[in-house]
A and B are shown apart, each in its own frame.
Chain A
Amino acid sequence: MSVLLDVKNLTTQFNTEAGIVKAVNDVSFQLNEQEIIGLVGESGCGKSVSQLSVMQLISAPGKITNGEVNFEGRNLLDYESNSDEMRAIRGGKIAMIFQEPMTSLNPTLTIGRQLTEMLELHLNMTKEAARERAVELLKQVGISGAESRLDDYPHNFSGGMRQRVMIAIGLSCNPRILIADEPTTALDVTTQAQLLELMKDMVSKYNASLVIVTHNLGVVARYAHRIYIMYAGNIVESGTTEEIFANPQHPYTKGLLKCIPRLDEEKGRKLVPIEGLPPNLINMKSSCAFAPRCSERLERCLTEAAPPLRDIGNGHYVGCFEK
């Protein structure tokens, strides 16, 4: 497997009135060809911002201050956000699906127009060809009566249907990577499962890689090959899905696992929430951000900076002191 996307030391900060918020702090991750990875963390931990940074969709007061986003032999951060090169990547090579299906589609344009505009742009299709392709795409994501629904507006679709349309839009130009930012959070559980299956199938059909951003470890358990755990702007643990679930090392990961129900464990296990709230990211201290909530906290955790990610074998990395 070869590396498709290699993000190194990415740092994105927001200069707000109250101070500097390091939403993404020195984050590195890799995505291989035809791989599905999960990026997991509580809301506000910077997982979405890290992905928006890859796409250079960060707007003021946010700013990418450091790092590399290596994709197909180029560092995307060398390009201006609005440059032709970057625009060709967005939608053409890397596509993104957002959390809120209800508001992510333009209410005043037909579904067809929102599909075809990208085909015309990136694949230079004619209007007719783009329309035909759009019908095909809608069929592939399981929208019945695709032909006639092309001229409908988003408000004629349910949330799940809209997210299917978003998937169709995302994959319309055969991108190499699809980034799904909390794609199912706003939907009910059965729809969630269907959509995740659909995404998995579609991605493998198009030989693309998939990044699933979620706050729910359970969502990625079944689909992701590897998982990155993020906390307060940092990646605290990463490894294959099996490793993370079987052998979690970071106290935060353990905490996350304790609060999801599992079928493979003894009966009567209680779900335990992680105490406390995620830290305020404004003007953070340099010591471990999780320390105040940590159940395995050591003396040094409150004074020293958290250690860099450490290789513990089997492709498993953890950013915590050795016990």
Chain B
Amino acid sequence: MAAYIIRRLISGFIILALVTLFVFFVMRLLPGDPLIIFMGRSVSSGNMSMEQLENMRAEYGLDKPIMVQYLNWIKGIFHGDLGTSIHYHEKVGRLMLERFPITLHLDIFSLFIGTFLGVMLGIAAAIRRGTWVDTLATGFANIGITIPVFWLGVVLMYTLGLKLRLLPIAGYTSPFDDFWMSTRQAIMPVICLSITSMAVIARQMRSSMLEVIKQDYVRTAWSKGLKERVIIFRHVLKNSLIPIVTLLGLAIGIVVGGSVLVETVFAIPGVGRLLVDSIFAQDYVVIQSSILIIATIIIVVNLLVDISYGWLDPRIRYS
């Protein structure tokens, strides 16, 4: 087990190294010079000269050869320094500390709700196969994988926010500042972020359960005289969840990817919004760091997913 985790960690590091290379060099392909874009705004206010620009270039280390820049970036990461944003003129680490908890708050909620409701919906559809419950749940899941989340955000904002005035239309408040306001503001984003993963999980859960229900050991369970509820929860559920665990990695990708859209729609100052803004500002220091963090999270989650397999399926041997 320990050997397995160590091996996975090593391969995770190799992939992360590839990720840093990829991110760094692809970023350098961005058309345009971030300093000029930055200057473009400053020059118009008339307080920046070409000399200052060159000073800034040196300050950010952008005058050095590209390999040196890469190594400096990597060195910085190991020292907990992600560099300085050109656009925000702030340490990227500090920016992340500000923005990251916001995205984390909404994404973890969404992932949790999406997984839970998805599993429940899938179970309901499977054990009531062919009834109106199944039709409703399957229909809902089919719409869930179809709906553009940003559009759902716009529609919700119009109906619940603008027309019915039930919820604040946008923004974000920390739950530690004003819990009630924070929750009310989070409802619509969380619906948008969770709907796709919920639908994907519900569809998989349904077919996985229908598969397990046909198994011999479930017939054995019936032959023991157990109640349907006990059979579903003790004998069917755990076995049906095994393929769902694989989907969690995918679900994280869906939720994190969705954050970029949802944070834009609802004007939430999280990492997703930061990423989009930085792309427009060509602020590659921020882009490469945000992407690196996202990739790290996904690698770690996938590792956790693989380890939790062993808990669900005792047949798995970590060799």
Asked whether any CB of A lies within 8 Å of a CB of B in the complex, the reply is yes
Of the stretches B169-177, B232-240, B253-261, the one at the interface is: B232-240
One of A55, A91, A103, A121 near B217 (C-beta < 8 A): A103
CA distance A116 to B264 in the complex (A): 55
CA distance A323 to B188 in the complex (A): 83
A104 to chain B, nearest CB (A): 5
One of B220, B223, B227 near A106 (C-beta < 8 A): B220
Interface of B is mostly: helix
22 A-B contacts (beta carbon < 8 Å) = A57-B222, A57-B223, A87-B226, A89-B225, A90-B223, A90-B224, A90-B225, A91-B225, A100-B216, A104-B219, A106-B221, A106-B235, A108-B238, A108-B312, A108-B313, A109-B235, A117-B226, A117-B234, A118-B224, A118-B225, A155-B314, A169-B220
Contacts of A121 in B (CB 8 A): 224-226
Contacts of B235 in A (CB 8 A): 106, 109
Please tell me if A8 contacts chain B, counting CB pairs below 8 Å: no
B66 to chain A, nearest CB (A): 52
B314 & A153 in contact (Cβ 8 Å cutoff): yes
B224 & A169 in contact (Cβ 8 Å cutoff): yes
A153 & B220 in contact (Cβ 8 Å cutoff): no
Please tell me if B131 contacts chain A, counting CB pairs below 8 Å: no
CA distance A11 to B219 in the complex (A): 21
Using CB atoms and an 8 Å cutoff, list the residues of chain A in contact with chain B: 55, 57, 82, 86-92, 95-96, 98, 100, 103-109, 117-118, 121-122, 153, 155, 166, 169
For the complex, count residues of B whose C-beta is within 8 A of A.
22
CA distance A169 to B222 in the complex (A): 13
Contacts of A96 in B (CB 8 A): 223
For the complex of A and B, 5 pairs with smallest distance between CB atoms: A90-B225, A91-B225, A91-B224, A103-B216, A87-B225
Please tell me if B79 contacts chain A, counting CB pairs below 8 Å: no
Residue of B nearest to A118 (CB): B224
A155 & B224 in contact (Cβ 8 Å cutoff): no
A105 & B227 in contact (Cβ 8 Å cutoff): no
Please tell me if B54 contacts chain A, counting CB pairs below 8 Å: no
A117 & B224 in contact (Cβ 8 Å cutoff): yes
Contacts of B315 in A (CB 8 A): 107, 153, 155
Contacts of B221 in A (CB 8 A): 106
Contacts of B216 in A (CB 8 A): 98, 100, 103-104
Residue of A nearest to B224 (CB): A91
B217 & A104 in contact (Cβ 8 Å cutoff): yes
Known: A90-B223, A117-B226; 10 extra A-B contacts, CB below 8 A, are: A91-B226, A92-B225, A98-B220, A98-B223, A103-B216, A103-B217, A104-B216, A104-B220, A108-B239, A121-B226
Contacts of B238 in A (CB 8 A): 108-109
CA distance A108 to B221 in the complex (A): 13
Please tell me if B228 contacts chain A, counting CB pairs below 8 Å: yes
CA distance A82 to B222 in the complex (A): 9
Contacts of A106 in B (CB 8 A): 217, 220-221, 235, 239
B228 & A82 in contact (Cβ 8 Å cutoff): yes
CA distance A86 to B223 in the complex (A): 10
CA distance A86 to B227 in the complex (A): 11
CA distance A261 to B47 in the complex (A): 106
Contacts of B239 in A (CB 8 A): 106-108
Q: What 1/0 mask marks residues of chain B from 195 to 231 whose CB sits below 8 Å from any chain A CB?
A: 0000000000000000000011101111111111010
